[in-house]
C-alpha cells in the first residue's frame, strides 16, 4: 500500500497550513535559532529543540535529506529582543563572579554550550550538521551592515548603527503588523532620542570596553544580524525553513527578514515555524515566579529526560504545554509502560500480514504529516499496542515510528544494580509494606543520590536509571 499523505506545515508567514514544497525536491535547508549560552537552557527553551528535532525526523521520514544549521550566540544578546536591558552574557559573568572580559565571556560560553549539548544528548535530539558560533562571524556581520549602509538603510546614533524600518512598506509582515507608529511599542518600550523610529533596531552597538573593532567604532554586532549572516553563509538565500519560539516572531525574526531581504533582494526563507511556550503550574516561567526549570531540576525530581520529551509530544507544538509534577509523573508512567510492553513484544518472532502493517503506517504518517501532530501520532502508537495484532508487528512498527519520535522506545534499559542499591530498594519496600512512609521516602532519596529512581508498580518496585551526579551538568 502506497502512502501519499503530503506533509503540511503551518507557516507563520502566511498564517495557514501549507503543503510543504522545498526548493530542492530532495534536500531541505533549515535554520534554527539556537541558545544564548549565558546559563542553562530551561525546559521552555528545550521544547523548541524537541520540536525542531521531530520536524527534522519527519522530513527524513518523508525521504528528504536535511541540512540543518543552528547558531550558538556566545556574546552580546540583550535581555530584550528590542535592543533593551542588560547584556545576557555580561549578566552571566556577574552571576558567576567572573570579571567582565572577552576572555571570560568565551569561558562562560564554552561551559554553557557544553551543558546545552549535554541536554540535547539526554533528549536524543539529533545535533544539527552545522552549529556556528556568532563570535566566529564578526567580519561577515560587518560586511552585511556595510551593504545595508550602502543601500541607505543604516544610520548612526549615539549608541550604535540602526536599521531604518520606515523605508520598508512590508516591515513586520511575519507578525502581521501594519506600518503605523501605533505599533511602535511592540518593538521598544524605551524612547530612544536619536532613533528615527522606535521600531528601528541595532545593527551594531558601541561599547568602549568590550567587543571588536569596526568601521564605526568598538562594540558588538546587533543580535539580529548574527542569524542573517550565519543562515545565509551556510544555507544560502532563500532557504526552506526557519524555526524558533513564538517569542521570536514579533522582533527577532521580523528584523532578520528586514535586513536579509533588504540586503539580498529576495525572500529569506519560505516557511517560518514557531513553537508555543511552556507553562509551569499554569504560570509563565519567570524568575519572579520562582518556577524556572532546567533539565537537572527534572532529574532531581526523578524524571527521565525522555519522559519530558514524551510529555512535549502529548500537546501540539503550537499549543501551550502546562508542566506540573503530576503531568511529568503521568508522562513518565506512560513512557515506561510503553517501553516495558515493547520489551515483551521483542520476544515474539511470529510472522505478520504486511497489509496490517500498512494500515498503521498510513495512520501514523497521516498524523505526523499533519503539521507534526505528535499527540495524534502517539495515539496511533497506543492503538497499535492495544490491538490484537502480533507482538512482532507491534515491535516492528514502533521501531519504525520511533525514527520520528526519537524516544528510544525499543532500546531496553540495561544496567547493573549495585548490591548496596538493591539492599536499599528491599529495605524501602519493607518500610512501604509497614506504612513507614517517611522512612521509605528517605531511602528513595538515598537511592536517587546513587543514580537510580524507584518506580512503584503493582507487581513491585522497579528501578530506573538517572544520570549520576558525575554526569549531571
Three-state SS annotation for 248-297: HHHHHHHHHHHHHHHHHCCCCEEEEEEECCEEECCEECCHHHCCCCEHHH
What is the per-residue pLDDT for 133? Answer: 97
CATH superfamily membership of 22-275: HUPs (3.40.50.620)
* pLDDT score of 23 more than 80: yes
* pLDDT score of 63 more than 70: yes
Find the mean pLDDT for residues 129-139: 96
Q: ∠ CA 445-447-449 to the nearest 5 degrees?
A: 70
State the Cα–Cα distance between residues 470 and 473, nearest whole angstrom.
8
**Please, which residues have CB within 8 angstroms of residue 340's CB and are 6 or more apart in sequence?**
none
- Cell numbers that stand for 202 in this block: 541595532
* pLDDT score of 472 more than 50: no
What is the per-residue pLDDT for 215? Answer: 96
CB 338 within 8 Å of CB 307: no
Find the mean pLDDT for residues 188-216: 84
What is the per-residue pLDDT for 83? Answer: 55
State the Cα–Cα distance between residues 47 and 188, nearest whole angstrom.
27
Which is higher by pLDDT, 414 or 79?
414
What is the per-residue pLDDT for 192? Answer: 56
Which is higher by pLDDT, 124 or 441?
124
State the Cα–Cα distance between residues 387 and 131, nearest whole angstrom.
43
Which own/partner contact pairs does 124-128 have at CB distance under 8 Å and 24+ positions apart? 124/306, 124/309, 124/406, 124/407, 124/408, 125/49, 125/50, 125/52, 125/53, 125/406, 126/53, 126/56, 126/57, 126/68, 126/406, 128/32, 128/68, 128/69, 128/70
What is the per-residue pLDDT for 182? Answer: 46
What is the per-residue pLDDT for 178? Answer: 45
Q: How far apart are the first and last CA of the chain?
A: 47
- Cell numbers that stand for 363 in this block: 495512520
What is the per-residue pLDDT for 85? Answer: 56
Quick one: residue 152, left, alpha or beta (phi over 0 = left, psi -120 to 50 = alpha)?
left
Residue 12 CA, distance from chain mean position: 17
* pLDDT score of 177 more than 80: no
Rg (CA), the chain: 25
Q: Which of 195-209, 251-265, 357-371 is least confident?
A: 195-209
* pLDDT score of 151 more than 80: yes
Number of other residues whose CB lies within 10 A of the CB of residue 177: 18
User: E strand or H helix at 397, and its extent?
Assistant: helix 391-405
What is the per-residue pLDDT for 338? Answer: 96
Q: Which of 76-90, 123-137, 208-222, 455-469 is least confident?
A: 76-90
* pLDDT score of 430 more than 80: yes
State the Cα–Cα distance between residues 206 and 70, nearest whole angstrom.
26
* pLDDT score of 146 more than 90: yes
What is the per-residue pLDDT for 288? Answer: 63
Domain boundaries, the chain: 22-275, 295-405, 419-465
What is the per-residue pLDDT for 71? Answer: 97
What is the per-residue pLDDT for 68? Answer: 98
CA-CA-CA-CA torsion sign (163, 243, 81, 159) = negative
The model's confidence at residue 471, banded by pLDDT at 50, 70 and 90, is very low
Q: What is the mean pLDDT of the chain?
A: 90
Q: Which of 44-58, 317-331, 405-419 is least confident?
A: 405-419
Closest C-alpha among 47, 66, 50 to residue 7: 66
* pLDDT score of 1 more than 50: no
SS3 state at 151: coil
Quick one: residue 161, left, alpha or beta (phi over 0 = left, psi -120 to 50 = alpha)?
beta
Which is higher by pLDDT, 254 or 82?
254
pLDDT 10s digits, 374-386:
999 999 999 999 9
What is the per-residue pLDDT for 16? Answer: 97
Which is higher by pLDDT, 452 or 411?
411
The model's confidence at residue 82, banded by pLDDT at 50, 70 and 90, is low
* pLDDT score of 227 more than 50: yes
Amino acid at each position: 500500500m502506497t502512502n501519499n499523505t503530503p506533509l503540511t506545515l503551518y507557516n507563520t508567514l502566511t498564517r495557514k497550513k501549507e503543503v510543504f514544497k522545498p526548493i530542492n525536491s530532495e534536500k531541505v535547508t533549515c535554520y534554527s535559532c539556537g541558545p544564548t549560552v549565558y546559563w542553562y537552557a530551561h525546559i521552555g527553551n528545550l521544547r523548541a529543540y524537541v520540536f525542531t528535532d521531530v520536524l527534522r525526523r519527519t522530513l527524513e521520514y518523508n525521504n528528504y535529506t536535511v541540512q540543518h544549521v543552528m547558531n550558538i550566540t556566545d556574546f552580546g544578546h540583550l535581555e530584550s529582543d528590542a535592543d533593551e536591558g542588560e547584556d545576557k552574557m555580561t549578566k552571566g559573568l556577574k552571576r558567576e563572579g567572573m570579571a567582565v572580559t572577552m576572555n571570560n565571556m568565551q569561558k562562560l560560553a564554552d561551559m554553557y554550550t557544553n551543558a546545552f549539548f549535554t541536554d540535547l544528548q539526554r533528549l536524543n535530539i539529533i545535533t544539527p550538521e552545522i552549529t556556528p558560533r556568532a563570535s566566529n562571524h564578526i567580519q561577515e556581520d560587518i560586511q552585511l551592515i556595510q551593504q545595508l549602509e550602502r543601500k541607505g538603510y543604516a544610520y548612526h546614533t549615539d549608541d550604535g548603527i540602526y536599521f531604518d524600518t520606515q523605508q520598508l512598506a512590508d516591515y513586520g509582515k511575519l507578525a502581521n503588523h501594519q506600518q503605523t507608529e501605533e505599533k511602535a511599542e511592540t518593538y521598544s518600550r524605551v524612547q530612544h532620542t536619536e532613533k528615527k523610529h522606535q521600531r528601528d533596531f541595532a545593527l551594531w552597538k558601541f561599547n568602549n570596553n568590550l567587543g571588536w573593532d569596526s568601521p564605526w567604532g568598538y562594540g558588538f554586532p546587533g543580535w539580529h544580524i548574527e542569524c542573517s549572516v550565519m543562515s545565509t553563509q551556510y544555507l544560502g538565500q532563500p532557504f526552506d525553513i526557519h524555526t524558533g519560539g513564538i517569542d521570536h516572531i514579533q522582533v527577532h525574526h521580523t528584523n532578520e527578514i528586514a535586513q536579509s531581504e533588504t540586503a539580498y533582494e529576495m525572500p529569506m526563507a519560505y516557511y517560518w515555524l514557531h513553537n508555543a511556550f511552556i507553562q509551569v503550574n499554569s504560570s509563565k516561567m519567570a524568575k519572579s515566579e520562582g518556577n524556572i526549570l532546567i533539565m537537572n531540576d527534572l532529574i532531581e525530581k526523578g524524571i527521565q529526560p525522555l519522559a519530558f520529551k514524551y510529555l512535549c509530544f502529548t500537546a501540539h507544538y503550537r499549543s501551550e504545554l502546562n508542566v506540573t509534577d503530576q503531568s511529568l509523573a503521568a508522562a513518565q508512567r506512560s513512557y515506561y509502560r510503553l517501553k516495558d510492553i515493547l520489551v515483551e513484544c521483542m520476544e515474539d518472532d511470529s510472522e505478520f500480514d504486511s497489509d496490517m502493517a500498512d494500515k498503521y503506517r498510513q495512520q501514523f504518517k497521516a498524523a505526523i504529516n499533519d503539521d507534526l501532530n505528535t499527540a495524534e501520532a502517539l495515539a496511533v502508537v497506543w492503538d497499535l499496542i492495544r490491538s490484537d495484532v502480533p507482538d512482532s508487528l507491534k515491535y516492528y512498527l514502533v521501531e519504525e515510528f520511533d525514527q520520528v519520535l526519537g524516544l528510544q522506545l525499543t532500546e531496553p534499559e540495561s544496567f547493573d544494580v549495585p548490591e548496596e542499591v538493591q539492599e536499599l530498594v528491599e529495605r524501602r519496600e519493607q518500610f512501604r509494606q509497614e506504612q513507614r512512609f517517611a522512612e521509605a521516602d528517605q531511602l528513595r532519596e538515598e537511592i536517587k543520590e546513587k543514580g537510580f529512581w524507584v518506580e512503584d508498580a503493582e507487581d513491585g518496585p522497579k528501578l530506573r536509571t538517572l544520570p549520576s551526579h558525575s554526569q549531571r551538568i
